[in-house]
Each structure stands twice: as structure tokens, then as C-alpha cells.
Amino acid sequence: MSRQAGTAVSSLQQPCLLLERRGGPALRLEQREAGDVGCVVWDAALVLAKFLETGACPLARRAVLELGAGTGAVGIMAATLGANVTVTDLEELQELLLVNIENNKHLVTGSVRAKVLKWGEDVTEFQPPPDYILMADCIYYEESLEPLLKTLKDLTGPDTCVLCCYEQRTMGKNPEIERRYFELLQADFELEKIPLEKHDEEYRSADIHIVNIHRKRAVG
């Protein structure tokens, strides 16, 4: 799978990615040429969004929260599958999230809203724990690891399923960041890798992984 495996169409000011859906018209996802990493749809988001469409995880009427949503591709896809979704990211990504929610609202069969959630900060307004937490390409810089893990601990209940999709990168500090993240995570969570053959047939890649994460059950 090549980067940006969806169909990219460009208008002069706002490049737009069309992400095909099994169930009908494609999602229309605006991106921004200028801005931080959250302004484009990353491959891990494509892989996770298309995995959701396989039906492996029941989403209809489920409460879903997406962390580091960027353009909102994954969460909006979940909302077209009947989930009640909150897509979250930093303040500066809210405008793009709102544009993409508006562009795709006619395809949503559940619900979707955008909220600011900075990792490590108070999550009271996102309680009770959702059924699913979705994360695509959120493990990429060292300073974020502990705040991100705090957020995961604060948000998850015993029945929350976290689907974390990430691209395994070999450059620079990436392997160490990834190793450290999973090391820290395993103190409180159990991990199960979703085999590649369960990913969408077209939107899969050997270096993009989906991990199913649950809180460890208290012993006794």
C-alpha cells in the first residue's frame, strides 16, 4: 500500500482525499497543505478506517472516542457505521475536524462531534468510559508517551476496547519510541495484535499494525 492510498483530488487551496466505502459514497476528507502532522490522512488512519468496515468490531450504537484524530478519517468512518463518536485532537485541529464532519454528515448513521482533548489533561467530560477508543499513528514523539498513557488509563473501563493502529518506522528514534510505548503500556493493559489477514484486503500493509488493547483485569 502506498502512502495516501485513497484517491487524492486536488483543488488549488484544499487538497481532498476520497476514502472509498463498502457501504456507499466515499468519505470526503479535506487536508491542509500547511500545518502540523494532523493535517493529512496518514496511512495508519486508512488502514484502521477500512478495518472498521470489515465488521470485525460491532460499532452500531456504540460509544467511540478517537484520540489524535487529525482529519477525523477514522472516527467519521465509525460514525457512518452507526457509532456515536467523539473525535478529539488539539485546539488547532478543531476547524479541520469540523469541516470534515460537515462534509460527510449525510453519510453518518450514528453521530459525530469534535472536542479538544490534549493528552495528559483532565478527561472528566469524556466519562463514562467509551466502548471503543481509536488511535491511528499517535505513537511518534517521546514527550507524548506518558501523557498519552495517562489519558488511556483515565479513559478506559474494564470493557473498553482500544484499537491502536501504527506504522512501524525504522528511522531515527522511532523504533525506541515504539518499544518504550509498548513497554509502558503493558504495565496496565493486555495487548493482542490483529493478524494482517483480518485487515481490509486492499488497505493493508506488512508495516502497519493494529493492536487490540484492554485493561488488565484485577486479580482476585
Ligand X SMILES: C[S@@+](CC[C@H](N)C(=O)[O-])C[C@H]1O[C@@H](n2cnc3c(N)ncnc32)[C@H](O)[C@@H]1O
Binding footprint of ligand X on the chain (CB under 6 A): 36-38, 41-42, 44-45, 68-71, 73, 89-90, 93, 118-119, 136-138, 140, 144, 147
In the structure grid, which three cell numbers stand for residue 48, read together? 484502521
Closer to ligand X by CB, 174 or 218: give it.
174
In the structure grid, which three cell numbers stand for residue 78, read together? 465509525
Closer to ligand X by CB, 42 or 51: give it.
42
Residue nearest to ligand X (CB): 38
Closer to ligand X by CB, 104 or 144: give it.
144
Q: Are 196 and 43 within 8 A, CB to CB?
A: no
Minimum CB–partner distance for residue 218 and ligand X (Å): 28
Minimum CB–partner distance for residue 147 and ligand X (Å): 6
* Alpha-carbon gap, residue 208 to 85, rounded angstroms: 24
**40 vs 15, 44, 132, 203, CA distance in Å?**
9, 11, 23, 17
Closer to ligand X by CB, 118 or 215: give it.
118
Closer to ligand X by CB, 95 or 190: give it.
95
Assign 176 to helix, strand or coil.
helix
Minimum CB–partner distance for residue 219 and ligand X (Å): 32
Minimum CB–partner distance for residue 135 and ligand X (Å): 7
The residue written with cell numbers 487536508 in the block is 31
Residues 6+ apart with CB under 8 A from 87: 66, 69, 72, 75, 76, 97, 101, 112, 113, 114, 115
Minimum CB–partner distance for residue 209 and ligand X (Å): 13
